[in-house]
Amino acid sequence: MNDWTKGKQTRVLILLGLILALAASFLTLDWTQYAFGIVRIADPELTYSRLAKTLTSFLIFLLALGVGADGIDAGDPKRLRRAFIAMFAGDFLFLMDEFNPAFDYAAILAFLVGHVLIIIRNGHGLRAYLREGKRRAADIGTAVAIVALTAALFVATLLPHLQGSPMLYVLIVYAVVLDVSLWMGWASLRIGYFPRANALLIAAGATLFFVGDYLVGFNLSLQPSIERATTIFLTWVFYAPAIALFALSGYRWNRERKGETTDKHG
């Protein structure tokens, strides 16, 4: 935008170009394995692909960190930064499971913290919105639909594979947080704290994040198989754009920065 910090638009475009190039490279490498019949069932992701995905996450992390003075107000970039620190930690810990699968539990915990922080960020202004008591039917209807969808997916796809496993209880807690995160993403359109363009980016990001994280949970429930390989490859089809949209939702897309009084809605 014309009122962004000098040079910021160029830096954002460079980061987006690098992110798109990296994403295209690892997605191509992942999915062409099917064409050549060389999918490694036991360990589907090639080393380059795993490194490229983590680097992509890091570049999106930088995109979020770079919002600074070009956010919608003074407070939102700080809240976004805290959430992305936790989410990138989760991605890095998932990379570390190459050395020890126990890192998966630490990664899930980091993402759980990230979700809580992104919920706090995306739900800024919720208290004032609830006090107004408007659009309760939409709030309740959205919540019921999300919970019903999650329960159906859980029973149909995760429960049969995880009965008796401690991972089942981890994923139940994670599913609750994931549902709240999705609900809050769409609620941001009604709360009114974020400008419309930013709220749309948040809602789209929350939806893709939900799909990507569900695939992570499904992946963790499966034994090595072509289905598990497919869930691993599919995860980043949704996850990379999800966190990119969250990062971009921090930037000011209109020409006026919201006043410091905005934080009274927190």
pLDDT in tens, 67-83: 999 999 999 999 999 99
- The rounded distance, in Å, linking the Cα atoms of 67 and 49 is 28
Residue 168 lies inside a defined structural domain of this protein: yes
Residue 264 lies inside a defined structural domain of this protein: no
Residue 70 lies inside a defined structural domain of this protein: yes
Which pLDDT does position 213 carry in this prediction? 87
Residue 116 lies inside a defined structural domain of this protein: yes
* Matching residue, tokens 């706090």: 120
Residues spanned by the domain of 232: 8-251
* Tokens encoding 53: 């995905």
Give the mean pLDDT of the chain.
Answer: 89
Residue 266 lies inside a defined structural domain of this protein: no
Helix, strand, coil proportions of the chain in percent (round to 5)? 80, 0, 20
- The rounded distance, in Å, linking the Cα atoms of 252 and 231 is 35
Q: How many domains does the chain have?
A: 1
Taking every pair of C-alpha atoms in the chain, what is the biggest distance, in angstroms?
Answer: 59
Which pLDDT does position 161 carry in this prediction? 79
- The rounded distance, in Å, linking the Cα atoms of 133 and 131 is 5
- The rounded distance, in Å, linking the Cα atoms of 79 and 245 is 15
pLDDT in tens, 169-191: 888 888 898 999 999 999 999 99
pLDDT in tens, 81-120: 999 999 999 999 988 887 888 888 888 889 889 989 999 9
% of the chain beyond a pLDDT of 90: 61
Residue 263 lies inside a defined structural domain of this protein: no
Residue 201 lies inside a defined structural domain of this protein: yes
Check whether 63 has a pLDDT greater than 80: yes
| Phi, psi dihedrals of residue 188, rounded to the nearest 5° | -60, -25
